[in-house]
Amino acid sequence: MTKEKIYTTRCPVCGGNGNSVTMVRWDYYRFDTVKDWHYHHCATCGTCFCDLFFRWSTVEWGTFVYNREYSLVDPGAGERVRKIFPVINGLLREHAPDAKSLIDYGGGNGDLADMLKAAAYDAYCFDIHGRLDTCPDKADAVTAIEVLEHATAPHMLWGYLREVLNPGGLLMATTETCDGIADISAWFYANPRAGHAVIYSGKALELMAERYHFRPVCQQGPLYVWRAE
């Protein structure tokens, strides 16, 4: 099986050409499961993306990705939320001390929202495949923990995140970038079974933040913090 071949399709971030493609397994964690899932490489901004997901309906996402076995694909999700809560809480107190309302976008079962609510924030979870609270139209902060890579319409997502934030509000998001990954077919993050449809480069994140008027505040590893201008 050839790992890489020339292919051309449009990048969902910058519109540039995806001029090569790497074939990866459907589920990185189950090496006996092989399927022709292709991640394209954008020649302009460096984003890697799997365009097969772009044709899926919400029902297909729920059937093949966000189903009862999803916890087997991402068994560390609960521990990750527990570890990131004090970091998020500290960043809010440092960079948005007056913030009261918060939406955890793509927050799964709502654990992070519940922790933030216990910390005296008016916090909500918004996840069309998980807990769907009735959220306010505007919020002082939005968290998106391991969410950006799941969205097949990046501009729609970033537009919503900007629209829902009050001026000066914080967006805190975690995602891995594909910078420096020589062979994504051997990279755990290029995992279609986990629903990783669009894997950003650092340049792509900068492009989206600038386009939707987010100013960088700080970065801690895969955690990015921007302020809505």
Q: For the domain that residue 176 is a member of, what is the CATH number?
A: 3.40.50.150
Cβ atoms of 100 and 107 closer than 8 Å = no
Report which of residues 58 and 140 the model is more confident about.
140
Q: What confidence score (pLDDT) does residue 9 get?
A: 86
Name the strand (E) or helix (H) holding 114. Answer: helix 111-118
Q: What confidence score (pLDDT) does residue 6 get?
A: 52
What range does the domain containing 198 cover? 4-228
Q: What confidence score (pLDDT) does residue 46 get?
A: 96
Reduce the DSSP state of residue 56 to 3 states and report it.
coil
Q: What confidence score (pLDDT) does residue 225 get?
A: 98
pLDDT tens digits for range 168-219: 999 999 999 999 998 898 899 999 999 999 999 999 999 999 999 999 999 9
Q: Any residues with CB less than 8 A from the CB of 209 and at least 6 apart, and which? A: 215, 216, 226
pLDDT tens digits for range 121-158: 999 999 999 999 999 999 999 999 999 999 999 999 99
How many helices (DSSP H) and strands (DSSP E) are in the chain? 6, 11
CA proximity to 2, closest of 32, 29, 22: 22
Specify the number of domains making up the chain: 1
What pTM does this model have?
0.92
CA proximity to 81, closest of 55, 52, 45, 106: 106
Q: What confidence score (pLDDT) does residue 92 get?
A: 98
Residue 111, pLDDT > 70, answer yes
Residue 4, pLDDT > 60, answer no
